[in-house]
Amino acid sequence: MKNLVVFYTYLFLSAHFHLLETYETTESSDFNTLQSENSEVDSTILKLKETISQLGKLKDVEFVVTLILGSLAVASNILILVVTVHYKFIGIAQVYMTVLAICDLCIGIFSSWRLIADRVYYWSDGLFHFCAYTYWPVSGLEAGASTTASLIAMTLSVDRCFACKYPVKHAEVCSVRKAKVLSVVVGLLSFVIGLNYPLRIKVIKRMSNELNMVPSVFTTLGQDPTFVKVSAYTEFFFRFAVPFAVMTVANTWTIAIIRKSDMFRRSMDKETRSAVNTPKCLTMTVGLVIIFFITQLPKAAFLLDSMIFSRAHRGTIPFETFVIFGNIFTRFNSVVNIFVYLSLNKEFRCTLIKVLKVCKTTNVEISTMATASTQTKDKQEDPVPSTV
């Protein structure tokens, strides 16, 4: 009996202290878990702040570089358009190259305005509302201008290839009027494709300069995965997939034809060689299209990533750096065309010199007329000496 009492007493005390120990351990583990969760939240917030700070620095670099490129694109493409107007003859190739210059001019203006809006939207309510109404529509217009440039560059490469391979058939089928109509149709199609930007994204009311960009959120359509995929696939198809594939085939074919033609011309005498007519702007067209192809590759890779992975890679420093590099590299195409014109187009150089001479002569005549009118006015104002 005494042994049973001792056994149950020991069992009771063991159970009692075990429960207390269990309770204290659970309480301390909850406290430790809470501390670890708080530290994880703090570290996440710290990393987020560092990421935002680094993204802000990247946006600053993009702002400076893109603003410089935009200004150069506007100036250089205005010069191209002014010189093209003074051409003695405007052919099919000149029509397409003029449309390319207009697209590059629009890209320079629209990209510059977006970056300026990112910096000034919080200055006043009126300026914020103006930026809110124009920011994403302008983004859509920029995408439309870029899509138009891609399709026109594709059309230009096909036209020159067709002119090389079948010159007689090309003269019968193609005309300047058809080229103008096709350019307008392509522009309208690209405008419709660019509408997905203002339909998917809108600006929200937030007057803060913490981020170097206009605060925006996705609309109802922007949150619809089907609409987002259709928009991304459509833009990629018309802006990159089809133009790149067609330009690759057409330019390869054109270069092969040019090489065969050069070998054939070298075997002729000088009189026969001078009598052979070759399509104009071949070298320049190939140069423009190749440069366009190279500068659009990073943007094409970004859209392809968006189609496959959606927004999974957004927000990371390496990927955002690649996106900014792609945007800058794409806009660089709007500037480099002037150098292609100056180096490969003799007609452009001669016309540019004539335009500059005319402008210089006009300025001299205006200054001479101003000087003559001033002298005449001074003579009229001189008092006539009176005779006594």
Residue 349 lies in a domain: no
- pLDDT of 369 reads 56
- pLDDT of 38 reads 54
- Residue 184: CB atoms within 10 Å: 10
Report the CATH number at residue 121.
Answer: 1.20.1070.10
- Residue 15: CB atoms within 10 Å: 10
- pLDDT of 375 reads 56
Residue 31 lies in a domain: no
Report d(CA 146, CA 91) in Å as an integer: 23
Q: What is the pTM of this model?
A: 0.77
Residue 33 lies in a domain: no
> How many domains does the structure of the chain reveal?
1
Residue 103 lies in a domain: yes
- pLDDT of 291 reads 84
Residue 47 lies in a domain: no
Q: Is 86 helix (H, G, I), strand (E, B) or coil?
A: coil
Residue 352 lies in a domain: no
Q: Per DSSP, which regions of the chain are E strands?
A: 201-203, 216-218
Residue-level pLDDT, tens digit, the chain, 388 residues? 444 444 444 444 444 444 434 434 444 544 455 455 555 556 666 666 666 677 777 778 888 888 898 899 999 999 999 999 888 888 898 899 999 999 999 999 998 898 899 888 888 888 889 988 999 999 999 999 999 999 999 999 899 889 888 888 988 899 999 999 999 999 999 999 999 999 999 998 776 656 677 888 899 998 888 898 888 889 889 998 899 899 889 888 888 887 887 676 666 655 555 555 555 556 777 777 788 878 888 888 888 887 777 777 777 778 888 888 888 888 888 888 888 888 888 888 888 898 888 877 766 555 565 555 555 555 555 554 444 3
* Domain assignment of residue 123, given as a range: 54-344
Q: Which of 226, 153, 216 is nearest to 190 (CA)?
A: 153
Is residue 203 within 8 A of residue 215, CB to CB? The reply is: yes
Q: DSSP character for 213?
A: S
Residue 319 lies in a domain: yes
Residue 18 lies in a domain: no
